[in-house]
Amino acid sequence: MATDDHYVIIGNGPSGNRAGEILQANDPEARITIISDESVPLYYKHKLTSFIAGYVKEEDLMVETGLDPDRIRMRLGQCVERIDPENSRIFLRHMEKVRYTRLIIAAGGRPGLPQSMSAFSDHLSFLSCFRDVITQKEPVNKAEKFFVIGGDLVGFRFVKMLAAMEKEVCMTLCPEAFWPFELKPDMTAAVCRNLEPLGIEVLANDQAASVAAQNGAYNVTTANGEARQADMVFAFPGLVPNISFAAGQGIDMDHGILVDEYLRTNIDNIYACGSCAQIYNPKLKTYATSVGWPNAVIQGETAALNLLGENRVIEPAPRKFFELEGVRVRTSWWEDVDDISERKPVNRDTHS
Amino acid sequence: MKKNDLYRKTVKLSQREDKTYSARSLKQIIYSSDARDFGQVAKSIPCQAACPAATNIPGYIRCIYEKRYGRAYELNRICNILPGVLGRICSRPCEQACRHGSPDEGDSVAICHLKRACADLKSPMHRIIEGFYAPSGKSVAVVGSGPAGLAAAHELTLLGHRVSLYESEKKPGGMLMYGIPEFRLPRDILMLEIENILRLGVTLKTGTKIGKDISLESLSKDHDAVVVTAGCTAPRSLGIEGENLEQVYNGLDFMKAVNAGEKPFVGNKVLVIGGGFTAVDCARSSVRLGASDVRITMRKTVEYMRVDEHEKHEADFEGIRTQGLVQPKRIVSENGKVTGMELYHTKMEYMDRPPWRTTVPIENSEFFLPADSVIAALGQTPSPANVSQTLDGSDICESGCAMEGLFAAGDFVTGSSDVITAIAGGRRCAHSVDGFLTGKKRKETVVRLEPHESTDRSRSFDFIPLVGMNTLDLDERMKSATAEVESGFTEEQAEEEAKRCYLCNLKYEIDPLSCIYCSACIDVAPKDCIKMIAKVEINEDGTFGEYRETRNWNEAVSIAIDNERCIRCGQCVKVCPMDCISVTKTELIELDIEE
């Protein structure tokens, strides 16, 4: 028998898609809608740089999911403007209102550009989503000289790709501003050791101080007084939770949406998961944001099951290791929260 | 008059080409005290309703668009005697209420920046307008020269009373002078606007502390009335181990020292406790004193910080970190020097009264943050006993305290609030004092309804993005600790930003007797603002309630414009074949009550 339930998921990253799969499998009668400002279905973010260089085709970027298009309505390219929990409604930017009976917020992250760089943000390019990549693919291939403000692991992949494309690359590396963890001196040294033989100039312990446009190119100066010219300036500042649409509506949020260990927000029928959520960790006795695709998937699963009436406590995914230029870095969403969460709430697609 | 004649006439008057015109308006100005008109103003002009002083915001923004900066400044001064000051440091409740910030509408209008623009851009020789009453022969003492005291002194002087303003510090201004850093509020701007009040004949007596140098009782004997606006000066204490260490400051004392040109020791790592303007001011001042790692900590989440987004942005821009959901447990020291702070993590919990959400410390969640100094900016409370032992705090009221002839206003009554609330309180209190001294009510608030032929807005204005404030680069901020960070709008920027205002003071109405129900206006309305109405509810207070909409022609009693949704684009006026849509300018004004 058909029900009046309408489950809405905001976000079509790994977390939102997994939640959709679970809801579809466990409640055959309910209407399910996924709303996302991304204009394409789930894709591998870590392959975006290879796609720019032409090593990967567009179809290889896409992730095969178990979502049944007859069961789940995908509303892509649609931006959520505001949530109205009191009336169980979502306002979309194009003025449509969508009613829900239960809601999962899995909106992921957005580039976490430090405010100190906001003065020249108009001159910066980003590679944080599929749309960015489509926009930047041709200009990147045409440009010769690049300045990269390094701040996360995608930045390393990008500069190596540029080196392989025989582009001239200069990169800043500020250990304190790295995301999702602060670089230790041995990591910084290892990064320099491994990137410089590729022809990449690394300005370690330095940050961009100004970027000025001039005759179609950019003049960059750094905090240490270095000056470089570039055809394009890219910033890789990591991500911060994408939650502005939920602000001021009675949903508890700090740097991310606050949820308990069952991924429940303070509003009865609203759950949050993935990198937009700050999850209470009973072991750490505080709220933490999460890193990595596996964590996002398991959180999407848990949120969906709890929405359906289960009572599952979120468990951390198996620990994930990054190979950072010869240094093995362990990240798990249970760790280092006090060091990093308040400045750059962590999230990273680490699928590999 | 034919529509074309009207069009020509108004063009000649205004010499602008980007306006649209209605053909039917009120024929004369009406002053209304009807509850329905007050209700309409309150609902349709949310910025003014949110302003504690009820500033005529759409009015002054329109003047800025017309480059009448002096008039815009004077419109502000009617309710707020410090527009140049508030244009810099107001807490901006109006912007939170602004309809341009609603979903689908974009960003709120930068009302505060526009307030500053009219102060900055008016002629230096601008004529201040004051409406004096004849001298009453009465004298009033105002205790405290902060915003509430200044507002009360100004209003009482206009009402014809002789005012003496007592200030315990060396300079007037209270928190404005001693609590707010110069990089947010240049002192020449503050003194200029204070001077505009003093030169009306207010006698300023600085360095005189009531309750110490002169007793309240003796002041009462020497004056016909006394207004206490002594503010909040007693700092809330942390109540934890280590709070008396040398490198632990309370926020107000810290800011006083900084504003006096002193350089209190902060070290490299500073922890600021609190989530209000003072906490952010202390943090930003610490950066200017050389601290490299400044962190603001608060019990609730960052969302609950009692500062506006601009201040959060500026703090973030200057590298200050914020950490919510933590609570101090003790300040740790070695050999008498602060080494850091132990804190609890906290959790949000429901409480059964406003503000509904609270935090509780989580057991066994302690952690340590290193620090060279700690600044506790937890706010202050009033201390009536410092003014007089006879005051116990329970009988302090704007409209009169237990002691005859004694009144109070501002933070001294309300507890820590904000400057615009204090100014509004000071002004209200002045009218209570005036009533006490004269036995009369001399002014009443009415709604002024004026026919308005122009719709005043172009649809293209709706697509203008928010104009950002010009600010100093980080380097320049650090070169001079007192350099003002925000540098104001240019004329062009002010005009662009002024265009964004929806002019909610213009009331659009359809004349049901002329309307032929063609629904053309509904078809062109870009928002859901024109409705078929079956019934209009009337609230208990006599104001209009909700419109009951219908889609059934048989039920429709009229087509009505919902002024809470209307964006004053004028499309409906242009398209109406019957010229039955009128525009009326609505303003809250104070009228003299005739004897």
Look up tokens 């020789």; give the residue. B125
Across the interface, whether the CB atoms of A285 and B364 are under 8 A apart is answered yes
Pick from A95, A114, A115: which is nearest to B104 by CB? A95
Between CA B396 and CA B410 the distance in angstroms is 11
Domains held by chain A: number: 2
| Cβ neighbours, 10 Å, residue A139 | 12
Across the interface, whether the CB atoms of B322 and A342 are under 8 A apart is answered yes
A248 has a chain B CB within 8 A of its CB: yes
Between CA B498 and CA B461 the distance in angstroms is 9
Residues A117 and A232 in one domain: yes
**Residue A46 is assigned to a structural domain of this protein:** yes
Element (H, E) at A147: strand A145-150
Between CA B138 and CA B353 the distance in angstroms is 45
| Structural contact between residues A321 and A327, judged by C-beta atoms closer than 8 angstroms | no
Q: What is the mean pLDDT of residues B469-493?
A: 93
| Structural contact between residues B394 and B402, judged by C-beta atoms closer than 8 angstroms | no
Eight-class DSSP state of A70? T
Pick from A95, A116, A254: which is nearest to B319 by CB? A116
Q: Is the ipTM of this complex over 0.90?
A: no
Domain enclosing residue A104, as ranges:
6-110+240-340
Percent of chain A scoring above 90 in pLDDT: 54
CA distance B302 to chain A (A): 5
Q: Which residues of A touch B365 (CB under 8 A)?
A: 285-286
Domain end residue (candidates: A220, A237, A254): A237
B478 has a chain A CB within 8 A of its CB: no
| From A104-108, B191-195, B454-458, B581-585, the region with the lowest mean pLDDT | B454-458
Question: Least CA distance to A344: which residue of chain B?
Answer: B321
Between CA A258 and CA A278 the distance in angstroms is 5
Across the interface, whether the CB atoms of A118 and B317 are under 8 A apart is answered yes
Residue B21 has pLDDT above 60, yes or no: no
**Residue A145 is assigned to a structural domain of this protein:** yes
Q: Which residues of B touch A119 (CB under 8 A)?
A: 473
Pick from B104, B348, B367: which is nearest to A338 by CB? B367
Look up tokens 């340590």; give the residue. B368
Which residue in A103, A138, A137 sits closest to A269, CA to CA? A103
Across the interface, whether the CB atoms of B365 and A285 are under 8 A apart is answered yes
How is residue B30 written in tokens?
A: 């009406």
Q: Residue B26 — pLDDT band, cuts 50, 70, 90? A: low
Q: Residue B448 — pLDDT band, cuts 50, 70, 90? A: very high
Q: Residue A197 — pLDDT band, cuts 50, 70, 90? A: very high
Question: Least CA distance to A250: which residue of chain B?
Answer: B357
Q: Which residues of B touch A95 (CB under 8 A)?
A: 104
CA distance B306 to chain A (A): 13
Number of Cβ pairs < 8 A linking chain A and chain B: 56
Across the interface, whether the CB atoms of B316 and A115 are under 8 A apart is answered yes
Residues A66 and A122 in one domain: no
Q: Which residues contact B264 (CB under 8 A, 6 or more apart)?
A: B249, B254, B257, B258, B289
A246 has a chain B CB within 8 A of its CB: no
pLDDT value for B440: 92
Percent of chain B scoring above 90 in pLDDT: 75
Between CA B241 and CA B338 the distance in angstroms is 12
**Residue A139 is assigned to a structural domain of this protein:** yes
pLDDT value for A53: 86
pLDDT value for A3: 67
Percent of chain A scoring above 70 in pLDDT: 88
pLDDT value for A156: 86
Domain end residue (candidates: A237, A266, A297): A237
| CATH code assigned at A285 | 3.50.50.60
**Residue A346 is assigned to a structural domain of this protein:** no
| From A315-319, B135-139, B341-345, B542-546, the region with the lowest mean pLDDT | A315-319
Pick from A116, A247, A342: which is nearest to B474 by CB? A116
Q: Which residues of B touch A266 (CB under 8 A)?
A: 348, 350, 357
Residues A75 and A119 in one domain: no
Window 107-136 of A: residues touching B by CB (8 A cutoff) are 114-116, 118-119
Q: Which residues contact B423 (CB under 8 A, 6 or more apart)?
A: B52, B53, B79, B80, B81, B82, B86, B147, B148, B150, B151
CA distance B247 to chain A (A): 24
Pick the residue with more confidence: B555 or A106?
Answer: A106
Which residue in A177, A46, A37 sits closest to A112, CA to CA? A177
Element (H, E) at B425: helix B419-438
Residues A197 and A268 in one domain: no
Element (H, E) at B560: strand B558-561
Across the interface, whether the CB atoms of B303 and A285 are under 8 A apart is answered no
Residues A257 and A161 in one domain: no
Residues A12 and A122 in one domain: no
Between CA A134 and CA B401 the distance in angstroms is 70
Q: What is the mean pLDDT of residues A262-291?
A: 91
Which residue in B413, B387, B66, B381 sits closest to B252, CA to CA? B381
DSSP letters along A83-126, please?
EEGGGTEEEETTS-EEE-SEEEE---EEE---GGGGGGGGG-B-
∠B392-B398-B404 over CA atoms, to 5°?
A: 65
Domains of chain B: 41-128+457-499 (1.10.1060.10), 139-233+382-441 (3.50.50.60), 238-373 (3.50.50.60)
pLDDT value for A331: 52
pLDDT digits (tens, 9 = 90+) for B94-143: 999 999 988 778 889 999 999 999 999 999 899 999 999 999 999 999 99
Residues A56 and A162 in one domain: no
Which residue in B100, B38, B27 sits closest to B587, CA to CA? B38
B322 has a chain A CB within 8 A of its CB: yes
Question: Least CA distance to A84: which residue of chain B?
Answer: B103
Inter-CA distances, A351 with A44, A291, B89, Å: 8, 11, 47
pLDDT digits (tens, 9 = 90+) for A16-71: 999 999 999 999 889 999 999 999 999 988 888 888 888 888 888 899 999 999 99
| Structural contact between residues B106 and A81, judged by C-beta atoms closer than 8 angstroms | no
What is the phi/psi pair of residue B54, to 5°? 55, 45
Q: Which residues of B touch A252 (CB under 8 A)?
A: 301, 303, 348, 357
Between CA A101 and CA A49 the distance in angstroms is 39
Which residue in A168, A135, A133, A145 sits closest to A217, CA to CA? A145
CA distance B295 to chain A (A): 10
Q: Which residues contact B467 (CB under 8 A, 6 or more apart)?
A: B110, B113, B489, B493, B496, B497, B500
Residues A47 and A98 in one domain: yes
Which residue in A105, A141, A147, A178 sits closest to A343, CA to CA? A178
Window 135-164 of A: residues touching B by CB (8 A cutoff) are none
Q: What is the mean pLDDT of residues B517-544?
A: 89
Cα of first residue to Cα of last residue in chain A, in angstroms, is 42
Inter-CA distances, A60 with A43, A44, A45, A159, Å: 9, 9, 11, 22
Residues in chain B: 595
pLDDT value for A323: 59
Residue B24 has pLDDT above 60, yes or no: no
Residues A57 and A125 in one domain: no
Beta strands in B212-280 (DSSP E): 225-228, 234-235, 248-250, 269-273
Residue B408 has pLDDT above 50, yes or no: yes
Pick from A115, A252, A266: which is nearest to B313 by CB? A115
Across the interface, whether the CB atoms of B104 and A91 are under 8 A apart is answered yes
Q: What is the mean pLDDT of residues B374-398?
A: 87
pLDDT digits (tens, 9 = 90+) for B253-286: 999 999 999 999 999 999 999 999 999 999 999 9
Window 308-347 of A: residues touching B by CB (8 A cutoff) are 338, 342-343
Residues A206 and A258 in one domain: no
How is residue B12 written in tokens?
A: 């000649």
Residues A226 and A327 in one domain: no
Q: Which residues of B touch A81 (CB under 8 A)?
A: 103-104
Across the interface, whether the CB atoms of A343 and B321 are under 8 A apart is answered yes
Residues A31 and A89 in one domain: yes
**Residue A306 is assigned to a structural domain of this protein:** yes
Across the interface, whether the CB atoms of B345 and A286 are under 8 A apart is answered yes
Q: What is the mean pLDDT of residues B240-261?
A: 96
Q: Mutating which of A94, A251, A342 best tests the B interface, going by the most B Cβ atoms within 10 A?
A: A342
Inter-CA distances, A74 with A15, A20, B71, B488, Å: 15, 10, 54, 46
Which residue in B475, B332, B184, B503 sits closest to A225, CA to CA? B475
| Cβ neighbours, 10 Å, residue A249 | 14
Q: Which residues contact B321 (CB under 8 A, 6 or more apart)?
A: A342, A343, B293, B294, B295, B296
Domain end residue (candidates: A188, A203, A237): A237
Can you list the alpha helix ranges (DSSP code H) found in B539-585?
A: 571-575
Output the average pLDDT for chain B: 91
**Residue A347 is assigned to a structural domain of this protein:** no
| Cβ neighbours, 10 Å, residue B288 | 20
Inter-CA distances, B489 with B115, B119, B470, Å: 10, 11, 7
| Structural contact between residues B166 and B174, judged by C-beta atoms closer than 8 angstroms | no
A244 has a chain B CB within 8 A of its CB: no
Residue A347 has pLDDT above 70, yes or no: no
3-state secondary structure at position A244:
helix
pLDDT value for B27: 67
Longest dimension (CA), chain B: 89
What is the phi/psi pair of residue B134, to 5°? -65, 150
| Structural contact between residues A272 and A265, judged by C-beta atoms closer than 8 angstroms | yes
Q: Residue A330 — pLDDT band, cuts 50, 70, 90? A: low
B355 has a chain A CB within 8 A of its CB: no
Task: Report strand pairing: A80-84 vs A89-92.
Answer: antiparallel
Which residue in B225, B274, B226, B239 sits closest to B254, CA to CA? B274
A287 has a chain B CB within 8 A of its CB: yes
Chain center to CA of B314: 19
**Residue A304 is assigned to a structural domain of this protein:** yes
**Residue A315 is assigned to a structural domain of this protein:** yes
DSSP letters along B111-155, please?
HHHHHHHHHHHS-TTPPP---PPPP-S-EEEEE--SHHHHHHHHH
Residue A336 has pLDDT above 70, yes or no: no
Between CA A143 and CA B91 the distance in angstroms is 46
